Amino acid sequence: MIKLYQFAPALGLPNASPFCMKIETYLRMAQLPYETPTFSMRRLGGAPKGKMPYIEDGARVVADSSFIIDYLKTTYGDPLDGWLGAEQRAVALAFQRMLEENLYWAVVYTRWIEPQGWALTRESFFGQMPAPLKWIVPPLARRGIARELHGQGMGRHSAQEIHAIGMRDLTALADFLGDKRYMMGDAPCSLDAVAYAFLANLLWVPLESALKLHARKFPQFAAYCERMRSQYYP
């Protein structure tokens, strides 16, 4: 059976990492049996690329959410994306990149850098650590995230600029979704695993960020997330 290594559920979600939630959602959508061993920091330290998620499938270990889905498609077939044409695949990939390589960093900023978001993140991720680790680890982790944001480029902008970048992404996603049942039409595809993971991590996290307030302007997002949850997380 496939073993999915990911962070523990947090913030009222199956996973507060959209990349972990993406893989669990994909496994459910593709109806692939899996199990999730209990998370520990040792698992993170032993992750092949130092990040979650990763999977074990027999003797095979695969890291990175996109590589995991590529592996699952190659090994078990492609029940979700087989119906997409070449143009649809190109559009789906473009929206995936927008969510994972751009919107993601705007969300990270609201959670780890802005004071209200950091207070929630610190308590949710580090609140159960014993002393003195709970005093030492959180600021170190936050400084590490700040360096990643600066290196990626998002952290070089002002808060208002970061919000504007994220809002443009959300507006584009809302315009594309429109009144469709799923991202690409009447049937689900792997892009829905990505979109649901990111939108749920905005709409259902108890943090009133500028990005969440903007996402709430689009009723299709709430309806879409409820539809996905009802179908794949009953």
Task: Tell me what pLDDT residue 169 has.
Answer: 98
Torsion angle defined by CA atoms of residues 139, 143, 144 and 147, in that order, rounded to the nearest 10 degrees = 170
Task: Tell me what pLDDT residue 47 has.
Answer: 86
122 and 211 in a single domain? The answer is yes
| Structural domain boundaries enclosing 45 | 2-76
CA 41, distance to chain mean position in Å, is 19
124 and 158 in a single domain? The answer is yes
Task: Say which CATH number the domain at 45 has.
Answer: 3.40.30.10
67 and 105 in a single domain? The answer is no
221 and 171 in a single domain? The answer is yes
pTM for the full predicted model? 0.95
Indicate the pLDDT class of residue 40, thresholds 50, 70 and 90.
Answer: confident
Residue range 56-84: mean pLDDT, rounded:
97
Predicted confidence (pLDDT) per residue in 180-211, tens digit? 999 999 999 999 999 999 999 999 999 999 99
Residue 81 lies in a domain: no
Task: Tell me what pLDDT residue 43 has.
Answer: 67
Contact at 8 Å (CB) between 173 and 99?
A: yes
* Strands of the 34-35 sheet, one edge to the other: 34-35, 2-5, 54-57, 60-63
Predicted confidence (pLDDT) per residue in 80-124, tens digit? 999 999 999 999 999 999 999 999 999 999 999 999 999 999 999
186 and 140 in a single domain? The answer is yes
Give the residue from 76, 96, 121 where a domain finishes.
Answer: 76
207 and 133 in a single domain? The answer is yes
Task: Tell me what pLDDT residue 155 has.
Answer: 98
Task: Tell me what pLDDT residue 41 has.
Answer: 66
Tokens 């996402």 sit on residue? 215
Give the residue from 39, 55, 76 where a domain finishes.
Answer: 76
Q: How far apart are the first and last CA of the chain?
A: 22
Residue 42 has pLDDT above 70, yes or no: no
Tokens 């960093």 sit on residue? 105
Residue type, 147: R
Task: Tell me what pLDDT residue 205 has.
Answer: 95
170 and 198 in a single domain? The answer is yes
CA 148, distance to chain mean position in Å, is 17
Q: Name the nearest CA neighbour of 20 among 82, 58, 64.
A: 64
Residue 109 lies in a domain: yes
Distances in Å between the Cα of 77 and the Cα atoms of 23, 31, 70 are 16, 11, 10
Give the residue from 13, 42, 76 where a domain finishes.
Answer: 76
Total domain count, the chain: 2
Q: Average model confidence (pLDDT) for the chain?
A: 96
Residue range 64-69: mean pLDDT, rounded:
98
d(CA 50, CA 216): 34
